[in-house]
C-alpha cells in the first residue's frame, strides 16, 4: 500500500511572503505525481502532473519540483495572496493505469492579510 505524506498539515503565512511545503511518496513503482488545489466548497483543481525526475513546473506564482529517486516533491508559492488559501493535495500514481491515485492528507494553507 502506498503511503503519501504531506507536511505540514497546516500553515499560516503572511500575505506577500513566500512559502513551500512537501509531499513524500514511495520512490519504487513511481509513475506520476499530481498536485491539486482544493478551495473550500469547490472542486479540487489540478495544478501539475509531473513524471520526470528533476522536473520543475510553474503556473504563475506557483511552482513544483520533483525528485523521484528520493521520493519527494516541493510546492512553492511566491508572494502569497489571500486567494492562495486552500488545501493543497498531492497524489502519487504508481500504476499508470486505471487504478486511481493515492492521496496525501493535504496541506491546509491560510494566507493572513
Partner 1 sequence: GAVVSQHPSRVICKSGTSVKIECRSLDFQATTMFWYRQFPKQSLMLMATSNEGSKATYEQGVEKDKFLINHASLTLSTLTVTSAHPEDSSFYICSASRAGVTEKLFFGSGTQLSVL
Of 77 and 101, which CB lies nearer to partner 1 in the complex structure?
101
Of 21 and 80, which CB lies nearer to partner 1 in the complex structure?
21
Q: How far is the CB of 70 from partner 1 (least distance, A)?
A: 21
Q: How far is the CB of 44 from partner 1 (least distance, A)?
A: 4
Of 4 and 77, which CB lies nearer to partner 1 in the complex structure?
4
The Cα–Cα gap between 21 and 33 comes to: 15
Residues found near partner 1 in the complex (CB under 8 A):
4, 31-32, 34, 36, 41-46, 49, 51, 89, 91, 93, 95-106
Amino acid at each position: 500500500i502506498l503511503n503519501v505524506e504531506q507536511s505540514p498539515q497546516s500553515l499560516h503565512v503572511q500575505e506577500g511572503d513566500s512559502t513551500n511545503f512537501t509531499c513524500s511518496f514511495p520512490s519504487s513503482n513511481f509513475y506520476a505525481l499530481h498536485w491539486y488545489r482544493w478551495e473550500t466548497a469547490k472542486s479540487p483543481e489540478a495544478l501539475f502532473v509531473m513524471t520526470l525526475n528533476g522536473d520543475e513546473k510553474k503556473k504563475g506564482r506557483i511552482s513544483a519540483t520533483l525528485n523521484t529517486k528520493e521520493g519527494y516533491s516541493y510546492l512553492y508559492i511566491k508572494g502569497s495572496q489571500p486567494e492562495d488559501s486552500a488545501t493543497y493535495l498531492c497524489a502519487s500514481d504508481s500504476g499508470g493505469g486505471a487504478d486511481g491515485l493515492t492521496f496525501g492528507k493535504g496541506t491546509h494553507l491560510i494566507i493572513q492579510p
